Structure 1
Amino acid sequence: MFEDVISFIQNTYKTKEFIPLHEPRFIGNEKKYLNECIDSTFVSSAGKFVDEFEEKIASYTGAKYAIATSNGTSALHVSLLLANVEQNDEVITQALTFVATCNAIRYCGAQPIFVDVDRDTMGLSPSALKGFLENNTTVKKQQCVNNKTGRVIKACVPMHTFGHPCRIDEIKDICNKYYIFLIEDAAESVGSFYKDKHTGNFGQVGVMSFNGNKIITAGGGGCIVTSDKRLAKKAKHLTMTAKVPHKWDFNHDMVGYNYRMPNLNAALLVAQLENLDNFIHSKRKLANMYEDFFKATDYTFVKELAECKSNYWLNSILLQNKQQRDEFLNEANSQNIMSRPIWTLMNKLPMFEYAQFDDLTNSEWLEERVVNIPSSVINMN
């Protein structure tokens, strides 16, 4: 039933051996910079590569400041703290997301609220967000209060799913109207642009991930980007155990976190950044090949919208229903082609089944149909 798809993927990657979903490419100065880092003996959270990475990722994204973190989840946690999210506050996000988003909300003692996504972006729907806020909240003293729970909704965390930008400008306008702090989950969208602006720059802060399966990687790692000097200063302070700078004294002025990115990881990332544009060029070429192929099939390839430039981190197709999705996953994986479904909706997980959620029709529709197919960089031409 899926022979043509499997054959196309095998021919594209020129192998019938195992084809991973997304493997890293180390083709530049990674070993050189790692050796330099080791020779310097600065392998932990202090060293020149951490500072260099922060400068270069800020420049690349157009943000004024970048704060390197140990991973994307820690960056989300700190970003929520920057929004003053506290015990029993609430945070709006999408049910169709990776679990780290909701875990970070719970780290703060806050409660998630799930609203729907748009089918074409798979990211938070502005119309669903607007509808939920109009029907369920009241603005009091420049705070958005949930009429049902009486709690304050402090923040909103939309995600740019698989590298495809959501309608973040509309979301920003809605959050501004309701006094909600906007945190962009750009973990998957390094190198993606919406209306010529890099993702992560629409909210007060943006969060990125450099996990081993991301478009550029340090094995782990993340960062916060912002153009707000005050937020940047506080973010760096929190990620460095809130230590007050001094040549020898150990004084800390608040509860901080050991979330600083090690210099070893940063050395990898500096090298990876040097090839980011080449990686994106290759991945967009692969996406075009997939798009052309799937036009002649019964399956839909998920492509970027107008005014978007996606990094196509993970390529996705839509099957006709859950049964066909499961049949494809079984067949592809049995043929050594790693494929996976989209995430289980967060409101279905036992940790979050108590959470308030709005109509999730689009999220449920996508959950039953979306499959990610191999998306590794195939060449550098």
Structure 2
Amino acid sequence: MPRSPPRRDDQSRQPVRDQHRRHCPHGTAALQVALQLAGVEAKDEVIIPALTFVATANAVHYLGAIPHFADSEDQTLGLDPAALRDWLSTTAERSGAGAGWRNRHTGRRLRALVPMHCFGHPCDLDALLAIAHDYQLALVEDAAESLGSRYHGRHTGTFGLLGTLSFNGNKTITTGGGGAILTDDMHLADHAKHLTTTAKRPHRWESIHGEIGYNYRMPNLNAALGCAQLEQLPDFLASKRCLAARYCDAFADSGLEQARLMQEPPGCKSNYWLQTLILDERVADQRDAILEVTNDAGLMTRPAWTLLHQLPPYRDCPRAPLPVAESLARRIINLPSSAGLA
């Protein structure tokens, strides 16, 4: 069952004790297994942001489940709890005593909620946990981009039933590829290890597999690289915050009024995985011209991802109104963000 919302006291701000990790070959595999551990089954619907990397939806699809897209908020770039609660109030209905909630339009079970901490900025987790509690949704955090980010003093990826990280080559630290599943539930941690090692039961010589598992183990060489990278993580995070401050100073001195730099949400500490410029709506039509000029000058600027409901595989998936996500997608420009630039 999903957990109750965290208490707003000092205890809820402490690091999670006995946090267990299971390493995987990449973040997508970690999210796929985490969703399976959370009880997601074929034909279930899983609520995810439309503004996220395609891997979030792919992990849902690999289980035969259906992504259900929700809107984002301007302040965090993550799921908007107010908009989501309003949407569910008209879209979700009880399935029966103890059977959870379903989408009244499709008849499918609403099983999980997956906040993604966009570009490393934490979502409004308290409000999203409250929604997960009220609608009996398992909350699984996609913290692929937010290693080192904290929400009210506590690390992202540790609030839900499970959380996942990515160590891809473009992340804050890398193992060349790789990911991890986080949970403080020993039973889920043991099951995660079982599923990611081909579901082989311990035995001195027999190969007995009690369920369908995956060969999702991280190779030792990659893990060794990750251990070395972890030693440098504090320096990487400090460099990225320094770079964010330098960008802020540069744009403040420029007098530019038609754009703003994304700042960490109140009460949060972001890892600033990507430095993000957000254009005003009135100049959104100049985004592509800016991308062209900067890339011609050798600066690797990038837009946000194509929204998931606009991709061919996911065009027919259920979705809430997405006005903010669609606006943000027109206006976001990601700036060079390497820790080495600081």
TM over 0.5: yes
Of residues 295, 303, 307, the one that matches 1:341 is 303
* Cα RMSD, aligned residues only: 1.5
Residue by residue over 1:127-176, the C-alpha shift from the partner in whole angstroms, topping out at 9 and shown as x without a partner, is 12211211111233331111111110111111000000010121011101
> Could you tell me which of 126, 135, 143 is aligned with 2:81?
126
In the alignment, is residue 98 of structure 1 matched against residue 57 of structure 2? no
More displaced stretch, 63-72 vs 181-190: 63-72
- Higher relative CO (CA 8 A, sep ≥ 6), structure 1 or 2? 1
What is the CA deviation profile of residues 229-271 of structure 1, one whole-angstrom value per residue up to 9, with x for unaligned ones? 1111111110000000122211100000011111110000000
Q: 2:180 aligns with which of 183, 207, 223?
A: 223
**Number of the residue aligned with 2:247:** 290
Letter in 1 for 2:27: G
Deviation of the 1:342 alpha carbon: 0.2
**Structure 1 runs (4+) greater than 3 angstroms displaced:** 60-63
- Asked whether the equivalents of residues 92 and 157 of structure 1 are also in contact (C-alpha less than 8 Å), the reply is yes
TM-score normalised to the size of structure 2? 0.91
Q: What does residue range 352-363 of structure 1 map to in structure 2 within 5 Å?
A: 352-363=314-325
Given residue 350 of structure 1, which amino acid in structure 2 is its aligned partner?
P
1:62, distance to aligned residue in structure 2 (A)? 5.6
- State the partner residue of 1:317: 277
Deviations 1:82-128 (A, max 9, x none): 12211111100110000000011111111111110011111011112
Identical amino acids, percent of aligned pairs:
48
Specify the SS of the correspondent of 2:202. coil
Contact 1:302 1:318 in 2 (8 A): yes
Q: Secondary structure at the match of 1:219?
A: coil
Hey, what's the Cα distance between the residues in 2 that align with 1:325 and 1:92?
Answer: 29
Q: In structure 1, what residue type is equivalent to 2:263?
A: K
Query: What residue is the counterpart of 2:97 in the other structure?
Result: 141
Match of 2:25 in 1: 70
Q: How does 1:234-273 map to 2 (within 5 A)?
A: 234-273=191-230
Q: Compare 238-247 and 61-70 and name the one that shifted more.
A: 61-70
Runs of 5+ unmatched residues, structure 1: 1-59
Q: Structure 2 CA distance, aligned partners of 1:129 and 1:216? A: 32
CA distance in 1: counterparts of 2:81 and 2:30, whole angstroms: 24
TM-score, length-scaled by structure 1: 0.82
1:110 lines up with 2:65 in the alignment = yes
What amino acid sits opposite 1:96 in the alignment? L
Q: Distance in 1 between matches of 2:228 and 2:109?
A: 43
> SS in structure 2 opposite 1:245?
coil
Pick aligned residue for 2:265 from 299, 305, 310: 305
Q: CA deviation at 1:379?
A: 6.6
1:373 corresponds to 2:329: no
Q: Which runs of 5+ in 2 are unaligned?
A: 1-14
CA contact under 8 A between 1:63 and 1:201: conserved in structure 2? no
Count of matched residue positions in the alignment of Structure 1 and Structure 2: 322
**1:329 and 2:261 equivalent?**
no
